[in-house]
Amino acid sequence: VEWQSVKTYEDILYHKWGGIAKITINRPHKRNAFRPKTVFELYDAFCDAREDARIGVVLLTGAGPHSDGKYAFCSGGDQTVRGQAGYIGDDGVPRLNVLDLQKLIRSIPKVVIALVAGYAVGGGHVLHLVCDLTLAADNAIFGQTGPKVGSFDGGFGSSYLARVVGQKKAREIWFLCRQYNAQQALEMGLVNHVVPVEELEREGIKWSLEILEKSPLAIRCLKSAFNADCDGQAGLQELAGNATLLYYMTAEGAEGKQAFLEKRPPDFSQYPWLP
């Protein structure tokens, strides 16, 4: 695979190849912890992938290994810039902007696959959680740390986690702050598949190519249908938006617009009221 660099950022790398975009958190000296700038850059790259009609799959991963030989997907919010009301950026403003990123990853009408090597902990664990699929390297380590470091994620980080692994396991993960290896994560349904670390990206590409053979509209509608189950009115809005998109693609929908532009009454008489 010949990845093409798309744009230069400070904290992340952004590449594309064919229908695949690859977004890499690039702060290995901090186990890929995110600061507000990292999150803004991730958001920007995800927006680009969403707008690019050639892209069907986004891989989200972490740069590594670090010079000490250790891997990380992401270790959550950068605790060195954590202030009194959030993570503080260059502008001095405290933010929890990773919450916006979580929503974007869930609503982007493309398949997002987390490739996890090494640590996916704290807010970094929630990032892999909100991806559609997770492929884990055999050295992956998962866990929440909030109650240990004075934080928590009561949004997707807890309620969606409970949907994925069940209420008892989700409460265990948060209340005890233990670390779980790749095999344990597989057993609790937290990841889709485990491979040796050196095969992680190749496996991600393999899954992506299989997905890219499928119908984009079918995958789009399925993703919003899965989301609608837990996202309330925002989830229904996504699902219904797809109904509008499909309706615009019909001759019946186009007749309404055409009639308006031609300043005549619409003629829907040839379209049946199906049972």
Would you tell me which residues interact with ligand 2NE (CB under 6 A)? 30-31, 33, 70, 75-80, 96, 98, 119, 121-123, 145-146, 149, 151-153
Phi and psi at residue 215, to the nearest 5°: -75, 120
* Least gap, CB of 130 to ligand 2NE (angstroms): 12
Q: How far is the CB of 217 from ligand 2NE (least distance, A)?
A: 34
With contact defined as beta carbons under 8 Å apart, do 16 and 68 qualify? no
Which residue's CB is nearer to ligand 2NE, number 156 or number 207?
Answer: 156
Task: Name the residue nearer to ligand 2NE (CB basis): 38 or 208.
Answer: 38
What is the sign of the dihedral through the CA atoms of 108, 41, 69 and 177? negative
Rounded least distance, CB 41 to ligand 2NE, Å: 16
Q: Which two tokens stand for residue 172?
A: 């265990």
Is the peptide bond between 65 and the residue preceding it cis, with omega within 30 degrees of 0?
A: yes
In terms of CB distance, is 153 or 238 closer to ligand 2NE?
153
User: Residue 104 and residue 44: Cα distance in Å, rounded?
Assistant: 10
Q: Which is nearer to ligand 2NE, 50 or 70 (CB)?
A: 70
In whole angstroms, how close is the CB of 72 to ligand 2NE at the nearest point? 6
Closest contact distance (angstroms) between CB of 173 and ligand 2NE is: 13
Contacts (Cβ under 8 Å, ≥6 apart) of 271: 251, 252, 255
Taking the C-alpha atoms of residue 117 and residue 115, their distance in angstroms, rounded to an integer, is 7
Cβ neighbours of residue 67 closer than 8 Å, sequence gap 6 or more: 28, 29
Taking the complex as a whole, the smallest distance from the CB of residue 255 to ligand 2NE amounts, in Å, to: 49
Distance in Å, CB of 192 to ligand 2NE, minimum: 22
Q: Which is nearer to ligand 2NE, 19 or 123 (CB)?
A: 123
From the number of C-beta atoms within 10 Å of its C-beta (0-12, 13-18, 19+), residue 179 rates as: middle
Nearer to ligand 2NE, 19 or 62 (CB): 62
Q: Between residues 56 and 146, which has the closer beta carbon with respect to ligand 2NE?
A: 146
CA distance linking residue 88 with residue 51, whole number of Å: 29
Query: What does the alpha-carbon distance between residue 146 and residue 251 come to, in Å, rounded to a whole number?
Result: 53
